[in-house]
Each structure stands twice: as structure tokens, then as C-alpha cells.
Amino acid sequence: MKRTDKVIISCAITGSIHTPTMSPHLPVTARQIADQAIEAAHAGAAVLHLHARDEGTGRPTQAPDAFKRFLPAIKDGCDAIVNITTGGGLGMTLDERLAAAMWAAPELASMNMGSFNFNISGAADRFSQFRNEWERPYLEMTKDFILSNTFAQIERGMTELGDKGTRFEFECYDVGHLYNLAHFADRGLVKPPFFVQSIFGILGGIGPEPENLMVMKATADRLFGNDYLLSILAAGRHQFPFVTMGAILGGHVRVGLEDNLYLGKGELAPSNAAGVEKIIRILRELSLTPATPDEARAMLGTKGADQVGF
């Protein structure tokens, strides 16, 4: 793993996992997404991980037109690296999931590194009422849901987006996903440095125990040596302890309302920027420095903001 005292802070602004009911501070409209993304960048996030929502219902959407409503504003308002999801919303086809990134040709796109049982149905039990009728069934159906990213799907995404100069945030929910990445690296379909986002705390993936972080790091060290950067995200209450541990180990961090709606026990985060500000306070106590967007570009080998399609 490449070690540095410069820590790349990614901020996941609004995701397909959480629903508007869960927090009044979760951005849904294009204006809200743009404003919170720019605020997070100004707070110190070098990378902005972005999903889109239908403005009428709040449902996840990968329609390029939805991204067109906020990407230019974000580009005008800050210099952060834009990272477009290819995970999209649960149950979308591969064509739907790739559509936004294929149009935008961003510096970064997320790439889930394998199929697995993705169960977030427990969230439905924590609320008696939902703002929109689709929300409870969306959560409950994940009891019988596989988040699909087959080898063929991964290869297609890597090839088509790679041809546009887009690099990847490789989302690894379990140890086997690291081996999947190594397979594609051995075939030459992706080139280092590999930006490995190790994910903890989703039911169906690797659990949120500190020992598991060490296992993921040791496996990635063995597979990729110095050719990768390790970043950490963890769901819910595990977020800040895990990303702090990752930073201590020499890695990078992801925060944001997609992954965790709270700043502390019982305290809803008022914005994405609040999470960025909190992790920066922690990093500085550890004598670590947030990377600027241009420093992150150099570390990740991205093509630059002037080469995107928006």
C-alpha cells in the first residue's frame, strides 16, 4: 500500500441506500445535491461520490438528465474530483447503472467488485411511517436480493468507461472482491494505482470488526503491494471509528450521508460537510493532513477535470 501523510477524503453525498425519510438533511433535489457537494468540497473533501434522485419521488435514478442538473454546478463551484456511481439504485439493469457515467466520462467511477447478498431490510423496522410509498418495499425486498456485478458486467464497465479515461473506485465488500480485482489487474484491464474502497458493515458483506480491516489490508498488501491506495468506509455508527483506524494504518477515508446519517449517537448530521469537518478534526489530531483535489489527482492518476464530459 502506498503510504502518505496526505489523506484523501471522499464524501458520499446522497446514495441509493438511504431514503429521504431517514433524515431531513439528506439531499434529494439537484439543487440540494449541488449545494451540499460544493459545501463538502470547501470543507475539505477531495472526492465527491455522487448518486442522483428523482426530484418528485426521491427514488434513485441513473438517468443522465438527472446528473446534468447538478454536475455542471458542482464543477463550477469547486475543484473536487467527481466520482459517479455505477451501482445506481437496487434492481437497475447494467445499462441503466452505466448510463450516467458513460455520459459524464468522469475522472472516477465506482465499480462494485462482485455480486453478493445485499440486505438492508432491517432499516425498514426502525420507522413506522415513510414519506414515499416506494420506500418500505424498497428496503424490505433486499431480504431476497442479490446485488449483481458478474465478471462479465465488471469487464464491460471497466472497458467502456476505461476507454473514456475514467479511473475507478473499486468497491470491495468482502475479501473475495480483492481477488476479483487482482484477476482483472492480471489481465491488464485496469492499471495501477488501484483505489480500493474497503466496505464494512453491510449485511451480506464483511462485518464491522477491526480484525476484518486488518484482514482486508493484509490481503490487498499481498495482492497489490505498493500499487494501490486503501480507503475505508463503514456503515452507520461504525463509520468514524473504522475510517480513523484506516487512516492510522496509512489509508484514506470516506464519509458522507450515503454511509452514515449521524455525527454521534442520536445526533443527526446537519450536512455532508459536517462529516467532513469531523474527520478532518480527527485527522489533524493524528498529525495527518487532508489531500487537496490536485494532490488526490496525482495520487490516483486521474485525467483531470478538464477532460470530463460535463
DSSP-assigned beta bridge partners for residue 48: 11, 82
Which comes out higher in pLDDT, residue 91 or 129?
A: 91
- Side-chain half-sphere exposure of 238, counting CA atoms within 13 A: 18
SS3 197: strand
pLDDT tens digits for range 172-189: 999 999 999 999 999 999
- Helix ranges (H only) for the chain are 30-43, 64-68, 71-77, 94-104, 135-140, 151-162, 175-186, 210-224, 239-248, 272-285, 293-300
pTM for the structure as a whole: 0.97
Residues in CB range of 23: below 8 A, 6 or more apart = 257, 261, 268, 269
pLDDT tens digits for range 204-259: 999 999 999 999 999 999 999 999 999 999 999 999 999 999 999 999 999 999 99
Helices (H) and strands (E) in the chain, counts: 11, 16
Domains assigned to the chain: 6-307 (3.20.20.70)
pLDDT tens digits for range 259-308: 999 999 999 999 999 999 999 999 999 999 999 999 999 999 999 999 99
Categorize the per-residue pLDDT at 192 as very low, low, confident or very high, splitting at 50, 70 and 90: very high
Look-up: residue for cell 433524515?
23
